[in-house]
A and B are shown apart, each in its own frame.
Chain A
Amino acid sequence: MSAPTDKTLLQVEGLRTVFETRDGTVCAVDGVDVIVERGECLGVVGESGSGKSVTFNSVMGLVRSPGRIEAGRIMFEGRDLRALNQTEMRAVRGRDIAMTMQDAMTALNPALTVGEQIAEMLEAHDKGLPSGRNARRRAIRAHSVKMLGLVGIASPETRLGQYPHEFSGGMRQRIMIAIALASMPKLLIADEPTTALDVTIQAQVLELITDTRAKLGMSVVLITHDLGVVAEHCDRVMVMYAGQVVEQGRTADVIMRPKHPYTKGLLGSLPRLSLRGQRIEPIEGQVPELIDLPAQCRFYSRCRERGPECLKNIEMRDAGNGQTARCVRVQKELAT
């Protein structure tokens, strides 16, 4: 991964997050590096269970016992987030970094109306609200109505008075985005923000994120399994597999010239309309259980290109053009 520059907003180095279970220690994130530049959009893709959510929950300080961050540095604007106490971290969350969770229903508070939840966010991260009590309430209400409208929810005035369970799955996702954007963060981490959304609303939500990004100079981490979304919206992409980053680079490079066999397999297993009637080609086999993994390539058992040289720890290798991949076959290509 490229070296940090003064444009770097978030830098994660050697992150290792583990969970204690009855069967042993699950190493969900094992030596992950991430760099997010100011204003950029980083896509994060990877196998289900590969550690995408845990990586960014760690950044947000949201890993709870029996989980813990075992190693690594999380630098945000030059500050080490791991060194902050609870209160300081709470101030960072929301004001500087906002995250929308994959589980909209569990992340929203079931006992508060949607309007109350947006208002709470606006109050906590007071940005230019008037000081008079009534003026303030009116401003918050107007802003909340606007935010709900922007994420495509009709009759926002009435909807503000409803509770999360009264919304559809996709609406809850959009409400979370509205809440996250209401705080105007420097970094938005969106964990599967559009999974439940149809293409038209998905486009509207992603456009809203892109516009806000341009307007505020906000950076975005977009965790998604939708490679079409990555292709259209992300400057760079990072591919995870079994707790590690296995490939990263500029989006166009990774999609057009994937280096890691897992990335190649991922691109090969997209259900496309043109493939109707044929079998899709899923990557055969299963992800290894993340307990006591042997020192070898983690994709080994499922890899079509495997060989004896893969039975050791594999480092990220430079493929040229800022693209790197965790595979022994990767060779540097000359910049074209």
Chain B
Amino acid sequence: MTANRDSGPLLSVEGVSKTYRSGRRLADRLTGRPETFVQAVNNVSFGIERGEIMGLIGESGCGKSTLGRTILRLHEPTAGRVTFDGTDLGALPDAEMKAMRRRMQIIFQDPYASLNPRRTVAEIVGLPLQLHGLATGRGALREKTAEILEKVGLKSMHLDRYPHQFSGGQRQRIGIARALVSHPEFIVCDEPVSALDVSIQAQIIQLLTDLKQEMGLTYLFISHDISVIGYLSDRVAVMYLGEIVELGSVETVLANPRHPYTQSLMSAVPEVDRPGHRSRVRLTGDLPSPLAPPPGCKFHTRCPLAIDICRQKAPVAESVGPGHTAACHRLHENLSLLEQEAS
């Protein structure tokens, strides 16, 4: 199982796609509602090095959560391959996949829906410990559970409460505690701090970075917040309508975004001390739909720089600098939306 440990990236994603088939209920079939297909993730490839934080950013509905869940095999990919520590996850029998789950965890985006309402916090957070036999005896179990709760800013007195007795942000932290408790190596963090106020957001970001140092963790960190991604990731992948349109180190991508979509993202960051400081690049044009993705470059319907070729041919990712790639037909013309707005 540990064939080529330590050589190559910890996680590698090759050509992964995921298409949902709209689950038709009996009522829908009776009323003849047509089946729909949502192409949520389309041919995505990248690797994550051991100890690295890879940020994943992109607009709502572009497929970030789907990609995160598919990587962990919570969804079966429609195509492509995910390799973790040298092991092809798709080829793993269920029992071995179960054992693998201890090493790969997820912090879910929707804190409430992902917590069983009939279980107490002690049961929810303690479950991974029991499943993987990491604590024996009720005392040890409670102790370990309480310890991790303290780490995420909850108290041991919360152990016997139920999820509905907590505020939104507190529930999010229960989910974080559950992901951390089994000491995984890799965590998909799906918007882990979006529901939190800034002071707790700061505590959790600090906690996640400290734990990364302490335990050598690796993260795929999904967020729509460029400030958060910029603050803590090493590299960032920018996603648009199921595809990665730009990827590179955070410094380069934020300082020198090359894809027009990344540029429009960068221009729209509101900052409290400078309201409206940046002229916003306004994206107009039709919102594309994953139910019927546009031909050519998927961004062309909203891209101010789109020309004929963009409507016909999908661009492929090219290198635009060391470790920096982008997929756009007009990369070499060095056009920038940001400059256009400023002049």
Contact = CB atoms under 8 A, between A and B. Distances in A.
Interface in A254-293: 255, 265-267, 269-273, 275-276, 279-283, 286, 289
Nearest to A291: B157
Given A48-B200, A280-B205, A155 B292 contact: yes
A281 B291 contact: no
Contacts of B280: 203
Interface residues of B, number: 72
A334 B22 CA distance: 62
Given A166-B20, A169-B110, A267-B272, A225 B58 contact: no
Contacts of A174: 60
A15 to B, nearest CB: 17
Interface stretch (B130-138, B190-198, B213-221, B324-332): B190-198
A166 B161 CA distance: 30
Contacts of A271: 198, 201-202, 205, 227-228, 231
A52 B170 CA distance: 13
Contact of A231 (B25, B112, B275): B275
Interface string A52-63: 111000000000
Interface in B269-311: 269-272, 275-276, 280, 283, 286-292
Interface string B86-129: 00000000000000000000000111110000000000000000
B292 A166 contact: no
A317 to B, nearest CB: 23
A282 B203 contact: yes
Contacts of A50: 167
B230 interface: yes
B170 A48 contact: yes
B230 A276 contact: yes
Contact of B109 (A47, A169, A255): A169
A53 B168 CA distance: 9
18 contacts: A22-B160, A49-B167, A49-B169, A50-B167, A102-B195, A103-B111, A106-B112, A154-B291, A163-B23, A170-B224, A195-B194, A199-B226, A200-B264, A255-B272, A266-B199, A271-B228, A273-B230, A282-B199
A221 interface: no
Contact of B231 (A46, A267, A276): A276
Given A102-B168, A195-B195, A269-B201, 6 more contacts: A104-B110, A152-B60, A163-B23, A200-B283, A232-B276, A266-B199
A154 B289 contact: yes
Contacts of B269: 199, 273
Contacts of B199: 47, 265-266, 269, 282-283
A229 interface: yes
Nearest to B113: A105
Those 10 A-B pairs whose CB atoms lie nearest each other, nearest first: A48-B169, A170-B60, A154-B289, A198-B224, A282-B202, A225-B197, A228-B270, A155-B289, A199-B268, A105-B113
A162 interface: yes
A169 B195 contact: no
B340 interface: no
B33 A225 contact: no
Contacts of B112: 103, 105-106
Contacts of A45: 197
A158 interface: yes
A4 interface: no
B314 interface: no
Contacts of A49: 166-167, 169-170
B254 A48 contact: no
Contacts of B272: 227-228, 230-231, 255, 267, 270
Contact of A168 (B65, B196, B228, B288): B65
Interface string A131-171: 00000000000000000000011110011011100111111
A196 interface: yes
A196 B160 CA distance: 29
B5 interface: no
Interface string B229-273: 011000000000000000000100010000000001100111110
Contacts of A171: 60-61
A300 interface: no
A54 B227 CA distance: 29
A75 interface: no
A120 to B, nearest CB: 16
Contacts of B109: 169, 196
A: interface residue count bin: 35 or more
Interface in B35-69: 36, 38, 57-61, 64-66
A23 B156 CA distance: 12
A201 interface: yes
Most buried by B among A152, A154, A155, A275: A154
B61 A227 contact: no
A267 B197 CA distance: 11
Contacts of A196: 60, 109, 191, 194, 224
B202 A281 contact: yes
A30 interface: no
Contacts of B110: 103-105, 169
A180 B270 CA distance: 25
A169 B65 CA distance: 9
Contacts of B64: 168
B134 to A, nearest CB: 27
A47 to B, nearest CB: 6
B2 interface: no
A163 B20 CA distance: 13
Contacts of A105: 110, 112-113
Contacts of B228: 271
A275 B270 contact: no
Contacts of B319: none
Contact of B197 (A22, A47, A104, A273): A47
A19 B283 CA distance: 46
A158 B34 CA distance: 9
A227 to B, nearest CB: 4
Interface string A215-243: 00000000001011111100000000000
Contacts of A21: 161, 165
